[in-house]
Amino acid sequence: MSLVLRPLACLVVLLAFLFGCEAVEDFWYHGDVGLPGQEEVVAPGEPDTIPPQEVGPADTGEGRPDAFDRDVSDRDESAPETVSPPEELDNLIDEGTFLIVAPAEMAEAYEDLADWRRRTGLPTRIVTMEEIDAAAATPDRARALRDYLRGEHERGTEIVLLGGNTPDVPHREVEMKMSIGGGGLFYEHETVAASELYFSDLYGDWERVEIVEEPEGGPTLRPDVAVGRVPAENAAEVAAYVAKVIDYERALAADYQDEVLFISEPTGYFDIDSSLMLDTYTRKFGGGYNIEKLYSDTTHYPDAKPNSAEAQVESLERGVNVILHFGHGLETILGALRVADVEALSHAPRYNVYASCACYSGDFAYSGGRAVGADYILNPEGGGVAYLGNTDVGIGFPPGALFVGDAVWLAMLSETPLRLGVAFAEARRLVFPVTGSGAAEADRYTQLVVVLLGCPALRMWPSRPLVATLAAPPTLAAGDALVAEVSVGGEPVAGAVVTLYRQSELLLVTTSDEFGVARFRHDAPLWGSYDLTVSGAGVQPIESSVTFE
């Protein structure tokens, strides 16, 4: 599709879905989704496919373990990402639930991130693509990677970071099509585009080469692992990105996490503005946030400011925690911003998460250079720690916008906030309750093209960080049980993640109870010094140590 036609195609997609909805009531119902506990309607799978020359033996889906597709309300959030009961003394690092896949030349640059993840309670392991390639039974590197991830999932891996751009860490291009619209407005689109769902839906059948209306077969459209990609080209870019993530989670700047930016742009038809849906998220964020609205339509929204590149840059430089953008884009354009604007951002360390339904801006596999969404997270002096967006044409009303919007809601605002990649996986269930062949064509397409660029294990800040106090003995006798207390202003903090860690040797994880007390019980005596870290529960991380003598 030419660059001249692409903006028109994006416009038509937005309009076609908006006017093709069967009822306005259905639109507003979806605009309020995001609450856990809704029932899921499961239908057999229907394929969205890859070219036949790129596939290997069929994936049948038999023997599939429990998938990511589960009710948020069923999660045990009393011990987030804990992989072993605290009374067991185990080396859990080699059985980590977070896997980083990176080219050998970039692997060392991820060590700081892996170490940070472990000391904040998430066992982590790094594997190189060269190791995966050497053990592969197929020359298809993307297929080999998927086979490897499936084996790791069966051993307990739940979150995966693809730590390099293609082809260093391969991607899969998938054949897709959609036909949407009604009321005299119709849009049809066929494409081949990058889809990271291939590495997330590990047990669906990706063999099919046509979209057919058969009762079974094809991708399930449900993630088994949470997947994100850092499309870095070299170790220096990795190191800069890792530093941004750690600075964000440590809250190096702690004065902006309640700042939110909404950006809406016109559809170009009947003066309808995308703020029609974006404004519904005002209710979801509630009164505890400073929401700045940059809307093209300020007539109907008197609390909004005019949208422009200058206004967006001003807001970003001041510092915002999250951006919701419902509008347009290309590989080199994100709404009103161009690549040069993104590369010039310099608001470190006030990094953010950017969620958008813009077309093409998340196309990390763009053959003409780096897409603007990738530039946004790889800018070492500004930009974000994550970008959620499309690798191809985006459907904004309502699937794409709700998908990225509800992912942010689950990661930031739900009662038990999830890691961003897990929230991204759960948002599929909430926005797209029907799986496989039962899903509408536009819904299947949207799920295939929306990707997460950035670390899927990221924890977003739900508000400005609380400054907590950790009470724990600096020394203990070998064999004594460690008891620590977490409080803020003398009040106990429940649900804080507390870890006892020594690199390459020990990782024990527990959470503080309703009295702010975290207890470590172990069967064997501990000797020497260990790192003691408190994180999560909206508190600024505390890094301390304890010595067993």
Q: What is the pLDDT of residues 311-328, one digit of tens each?
A: 999 999 999 999 999 999
The identity of residue 218, as a single letter, is: G
CB atoms within 10 A of CB 368: 9
Alpha-carbon distance 335 to 330, whole Å? 8
Q: Find out whether 356 and 329 touch, Cβ atoms under 8 Å.
A: yes
pLDDT for 420 equals 96
Q: What residue has token string 């803020």? A: 488
pLDDT for 440 equals 84
pLDDT for 12 equals 46
User: 66 pLDDT exceeds 50?
Assistant: no
User: 414 pLDDT exceeds 90?
Assistant: no
Alpha-carbon distance 223 to 199, whole Å? 9
Q: Find out whether 294 and 304 touch, Cβ atoms under 8 Å.
A: yes
Q: What mean pLDDT value characterizes the chain?
A: 82
Give the global pTM: 0.85
User: 54 pLDDT exceeds 70?
Assistant: no
The identity of residue 406, as a single letter, is: D
Alpha-carbon distance 246 to 108, whole Å? 16
Alpha-carbon distance 451 to 198, whole Å? 11
Mean pLDDT of 283-296: 90
Alpha-carbon distance 375 to 330, whole Å? 13
pLDDT for 286 equals 79
Judged by average pLDDT, the poorest of 87-91, 352-356, 388-392 is: 87-91
Strand ranges (DSSP E) for 384-448? 384-390
Residue 204 falls in which region: left (phi positive, over 0), alpha (psi -120 to 50) or beta: beta
- Grade residue 19 by pLDDT with cuts at 50, 70 and 90: very low
User: 58 pLDDT exceeds 50?
Assistant: no
Mean pLDDT of 27-53: 27
CB atoms within 10 A of CB 167: 12
CB atoms within 10 A of CB 210: 12
CB atoms within 10 A of CB 330: 19
Strand ranges (DSSP E) for 238-344? 259-264, 290-295, 305-306, 322-326, 329-330, 333-334, 337-338
Cα end-to-end span (Å), the chain: 68
Alpha-carbon distance 332 to 4, whole Å? 13
Residue 159 buriedness (CB in 10 A; 0-12 / 13-18 / 19+): buried
User: 15 pLDDT exceeds 50?
Assistant: no
Give CA separation, 406 vs 42, 77, 396, 423, 478, in Å.
20, 19, 13, 8, 47
Q: Which domains does the chain have, with CATH numbers?
A: 1-464 (3.40.50.1460), 469-548 (2.60.40.10)
User: 72 pLDDT exceeds 60?
Assistant: no
Q: Who wins on pLDDT, 337 or 16? A: 337
pLDDT for 515 equals 97
* Helix, strand or coil, per DSSP, at residue 245: helix
Alpha-carbon distance 547 to 24, whole Å? 62
User: 451 pLDDT exceeds 90?
Assistant: yes
Torsions phi, psi for 329 (to 5 deg): -170, 170
pLDDT for 468 equals 97
Q: Find out whether 121 and 509 touch, Cβ atoms under 8 Å.
A: yes
Q: What is the pLDDT of residues 528-540, one digit of tens each?
A: 999 999 999 999 9
pLDDT for 260 equals 97
% pLDDT > 90, the chain: 61
The identity of residue 169, as a single letter, is: V
Alpha-carbon distance 525 to 425, whole Å? 40
